[in-house]
Amino acid sequence: MTVLDTRPLYPLERRALLDLLASLDAADWAKPTVCPGWDVQDVTAHILNDYLRRISGSRDGHPGAVFADDETLPAYLARTNEEFVRAARQCSPRTMIDLLAHLGPQLDAVWADTDLRGPAHLNVSWAGPGESPAWLDIARDYTEFWVHQQQIRDAVSRPGADEPTLLHPVLAAFAHALPIALRDQDRQTGTAVLVEITGPAGGRWVCLRDDTAWQLADVNGGDPAATVVMDQDTAWRLATRGITVAEARRRAELSGDAELTTAVTTWLAIVA
């Protein structure tokens, strides 16, 4: 598995976020986002929560909140995220900007001290069961920060931070969820599915069937059994459910085995 090192991108993404937040007026902070019940200030608080949680857990070994009885991971995350966001409504936007600027370099230092090929601090559930490598854990957090920034940009009508340097690694990380979308499709060993994402930040990814499962593979020769082509905006929004599966299929070009194209367009790279 090719290592994707997103650590140098954290300061770049954060600088774009802080510049954006500093430019907002009071009305902007209150604008609703795609996250149900959360406005721009709430999404910013959620980003701050992620900073605090990762520094506390990965640097300090702090266990954090605990699961309630019979609570699933999605339920746990929904509950604890909502608890923090509600509490953070007493914080001013300026305070949250200051905290993000202060904590960001501390998070960067955590990742700088992490062996990319070692075990993840937190496994990436949407990339499959079992132990994840640290680089994928770090990339997963990068995608989350980038996506939340885009949700704020959408809410205040300020497009940006989508240049290839910042967006392509998001798509490359999300590609690790493609084999999971195909997991229920049993096919002959060697069957390939091609996902092509168009646009400056796009790329081509192949899912290859081996004896037991689908694997992300290097793009190589041969005709794929199914091909899905979509633009970069559609791709990241589909993977994070910023648009519906049905809308993504309307925007995409699907060819070949219909069962495979139907499966791969259920692509999901978040915990849900």
pLDDT of residue 1: 73
DSSP string spanning the chain? Answer: ------TTHHHHHHHHHHHHHHT--HHHHT-B-SSTT-BHHHHHHHHHHHHHHHIIIIIT----S-PPTT--HHHHHHHHHHHHHHHHTTS-HHHHHHHHHHHHHHHHHHHHTS-TTSB-SS--GGG-SSPPBHHHHHHHHHHHHHHHHHHHHHHHT---S-SHHHHHHHHHHHGGGHHHHTTT----TT-EEEEEEESTT-EEEEEEE-SSSEEEE---SS--SEEEEEEHHHHHHHHTTSS-HHHHHHHSEEEE-HHHHHHHTT---S--
Question: 68 pLDDT exceeds 90?
Answer: no
Same domain? 208 vs 76: no
Residue 47 lies in a domain: yes
Is pTM beyond 0.75? Reply is yes
The 10s digit of each residue's pLDDT in 15-52 is 999 999 999 999 999 999 999 999 999 999 999 999 99
The 10s digit of each residue's pLDDT in 168-217 is 999 999 999 999 999 999 999 999 999 999 999 999 999 999 999 999 99
The 10s digit of each residue's pLDDT in 74-112 is 999 999 999 999 999 999 999 999 999 999 999 999 999
The CATH number assigned to the domain holding 193 equals: 3.30.1050.10
Question: 126 pLDDT exceeds 70?
Answer: yes
The CATH number assigned to the domain holding 60 equals: 1.20.120.450
Residue 169 lies in a domain: no
Same domain? 118 vs 228: no
Tally of structural domains, the chain: 2
